[in-house]
Amino acid sequence: MSNTNLWKALGRNLILSFILFGALIGLLWVAEWIVNSQFTILSPKGHDYLAEPNFYNLQLLKWHDPAWVVGLPASIIGVAYILTVRDPKNYTGFFAGIVMSVLLGIQFLLQQQYDSTFLFFCVFIPFQMMSIYKWSRSKDDGGASFEPKFLDTPRLILSVGMLVFITIGDYLLATYAFQQNGLLDNIAIKILNGLLISSSFLANYWLIYRKTDSWIYWFIYSVSGIGLFIILGNIFSIVLFSFFLVINSMAGIAWIKATKKENLGWIKIFVK
């Protein structure tokens, strides 16, 4: 596939992502309107429900929140990024990934989530630049490195160990540096947030080397996000991460189907 076609694929995925998010925003706006209209009907006569927006007014779309406004285009571009790198031969998606990482870094900075800010600016962007370098150069080896592969067993063990190590490290960082609370306070929130950090780190890292395992970590990332925002009661983010779960699962299935039998790595023991 020529470079022109690769860029065209990225453009199509950006358009598709805008359409999908436009539909999502429209559905959430309709949900807001229906729920808030119903509350208006049920409100006691003469009661000003707008005076108590947290009780009467459902707010799924937070246009007043700068962090939310920055995060929305980051999510749109992020979906285009995933849709593009679903093809192991298309490195152009990582350019979208860099833009997404910049926007998400700004979003988390506004939300004072400094561990995530550091991760996106100092880890994700370098990883994505490395991916552009390696994926774009792999055309010169006859196409062999285009092929997705599973990790071998020793690297799988190391990768799982890193997942646990980073999750525990983020838990301790959140406890003693950011939240400054007890070790047993907000256990579920801190574990899920740690899994978000560690799984996204490993997903981006293994994408550099076209490892199919990266999509397992994207799956963990999506499920962790859903669980985290259920606890936090953030309906928009629950819907968003559910959307990510579908997109990441589709991409993961595409990579698994593209993985040849000789490249199954550790998963060979489960395949007859």
Give yes or no for residue 258 having a pLDDT over 50. yes
Considering the domain architecture, whether residues 197 and 104 belong to the same structural domain is answered as no
Beta-bridge partner residues of 141:
none
Domain-terminating residue out of 120, 140, 160: 140
- What is the span of the domain harbouring residue 217? 150-272
Is 104 inside a domain boundary? yes
Kindly report, residue by residue over 14-70, the tens digit of the pLDDT. Answer: 999 999 999 989 988 898 888 777 655 444 554 544 444 444 567 778 888 998 999
Is 14 inside a domain boundary? yes
What percentage of the chain exceeds 90 in pLDDT?
A: 53
Taking residue 247's Cβ as centre, other Cβ atoms within 10 Å add up to 20
Residue type, 211: K
Domain-terminating residue out of 113, 140, 167: 140
Is 145 inside a domain boundary? no
Considering the domain architecture, whether residues 80 and 155 belong to the same structural domain is answered as no
* pTM of the predicted model as reported, rounded to 2 decimal places: 0.84
Considering the domain architecture, whether residues 9 and 130 belong to the same structural domain is answered as yes
Considering the domain architecture, whether residues 17 and 120 belong to the same structural domain is answered as yes
Considering the domain architecture, whether residues 205 and 160 belong to the same structural domain is answered as yes
Considering the domain architecture, whether residues 109 and 219 belong to the same structural domain is answered as no
Considering the domain architecture, whether residues 29 and 84 belong to the same structural domain is answered as yes
Considering the domain architecture, whether residues 200 and 118 belong to the same structural domain is answered as no
Is 215 inside a domain boundary? yes
Kindly report, residue by residue over 158-210, the tens digit of the pLDDT. Answer: 999 999 999 999 899 888 887 777 777 789 999 999 999 999 999 999 999 99
Residue 248 C-alpha from the chain's centroid: 8
CA 163 to each of CA 116, 125, 217: distance values in angstroms, whole numbers, following the listed order: 16, 20, 9
Please give the Cα distance from 191 to 180 (Å, whole number).
15
Q: Which helix (H) or strand (E) holds 57?
A: none
Q: Which residue has the tokens 């559905």?
A: 27
Considering the domain architecture, whether residues 22 and 103 belong to the same structural domain is answered as yes
Among 53-62, 123-132, 234-243, 250-259, the least confident range = 53-62
Considering the domain architecture, whether residues 250 and 123 belong to the same structural domain is answered as no
Domain-terminating residue out of 75, 106, 140: 140
One-character DSSP codes across 154-201: HHHHHHHHHHHHHHHHHHHHIIIIIS---TTTTHHHHHHHHHHHHHHH
Please give the Cα distance from 81 to 60 (Å, whole number).
25
State how many domains the chain has: 2
Considering the domain architecture, whether residues 71 and 162 belong to the same structural domain is answered as no
Backbone angles phi, psi at 149, to 5 degrees: -140, 150
Residues 6+ apart with CB under 8 A from 208: 127, 130, 131, 134
Give yes or no for residue 154 having a pLDDT over 70. yes
